[in-house]
Amino acid sequence: MNIRYTKALLCGAALLLVGQGCVSLSGDSSLETSGPAGVFVSTDGAESWRSISLVPTIEGVANAHAASVYTLHQDMLDSEALYWGSRASGMYYSYDAGRSWQRPEAPMSAGFIYDIEVDTQDTCTIYASAGIKAYRSTDCNKHWEEMYQEGGNDRVVAIETDPFSRSRLYMLKRGGDVLRSEDNGLSWKTIHRFSRATLSKIHVDPHTPDTLYISTFKRGPFRSDDGGLTWVSLVEGMEEFKGAKEFRSFHVYEGQADTLYWVSGYGILRSEDKGSTWQEVPIIPSPGSVKIYAFAVNPQNENEMYYTATIDTRSTMYKTVDGGQNWITKRLPSGQLPTQLLVHRENPQWVYMGFTVPPN
């Protein structure tokens, strides 16, 4: 039996014995919130929630409900495999859809994990960006090796695999550099530098080779059609949406080619032509009046969307099943900041939510 699934079965047995239980927060450090952080799951389309932050160990079962969630990632090849990057407590991974979590050995057991990616053809090869360094595991999280270290103080904030070229990786530095590797991260080359731009996320279009998207914090999204060598701004058509250049979240929709969702200080915008034009997704409350930290779309039904809206310390979840024409409000299971949403790729009634404790 594969070692990753052997471990998952052991953790699942432990749970039977004890019972189951790329957001910037700058400017929010004075928030006073309450309740657990960590990861919650709903298996009924956000009607009800339960905490799933248990970490079985040989000493007993620990609870990671105090660990803030910065990113959640689902393996493309194995929908049971989930990865959780925290703001200060390292990385967690699950091979049983979040019923239990494990922690890798050092150096991935501590620190800020900005991004996690899994090889599109090998589920045991995982990449992670962590501050000034990037790491790789080729044996399902048993061992991690350093594959890049920043020479200055810039941070490696995003890493992305290429489904059209297994040996190709992309990496972003917060200060503006875009790097590419053609040998699985053994060597890197800077292929573009953004001036006067703070970078957040990079996405490879799953439908079109050599098409990439980058999110900047204040200058909106950009697209490349030549593997990252040149870039065009996608803010044209956003002028009528005040605050639309301010990044909150960005999604390349897997279920339909050329479809993007840009979540900003204004609200939610949708494009059906790779960002050449944008249309507003109607939301409540009014655009610009709330902070949307988390957003997700059902990968099997683009009319079903979720987002969280935060005013001061009060957050509410919204769900639509008709593309945003009507929204249903949902109560959240914690008073911490809801910063991540993820809809399970094969079981879309399963919705994962990650919470963050605001930094002091």
What three-state secondary structure class fits 22? coil
pLDDT above 70: percentage of residues in the chain: 91
Answer yes or no: is 74 within a domain: yes
**Tens of pLDDT along 319-355?**
999 999 999 999 999 999 999 999 999 999 999 999 9
First to last CA, the chain: 45
- What domain range is 301 assigned to? 1-83+94-101+292-360
- Mean pLDDT for 97-104 is 95
Answer yes or no: is 54 within a domain: yes
Q: What is the pLDDT of residue 14?
A: 32
Residue 73, amino acid: H
Residue 33, amino acid: T
Query: Which residue do the tokens 């006073």 mark?
Result: 32
Give yes or no for residue 4 having a pLDDT over 60.
Answer: no
Give yes or no for residue 211 having a pLDDT over 80.
Answer: yes
- How far apart, in Å, are the Cα atoms of 41 and each of 33, 103, 168, 271, 354? 20, 19, 33, 29, 9
In DSSP notation, 267-306 reads -EEEESSTTSS-EEE--SS-TTSSEEEEEEEETTEEEEEE
Answer yes or no: is 318 within a domain: yes
Of the listed ranges 16-30, 70-84, 289-303, the one predicted with least confidence: 16-30
How many CA atoms lie less than 13 Å away from 247 in the CB half-sphere? Answer: 24
Total number of domains in the chain: 1
Answer yes or no: is 48 within a domain: yes
Answer yes or no: is 300 within a domain: yes
Residues 46 and 155: their CA atoms lie apart, in Å, by 35
Answer yes or no: is 252 within a domain: no
Answer yes or no: is 113 within a domain: no
Enter the pTM of the model.
Answer: 0.90
b/e map 4-18, b = 16+ CB within 10 Å: beebbeebeebbeee
What three-state secondary structure class fits 28? coil
Answer yes or no: is 8 within a domain: yes
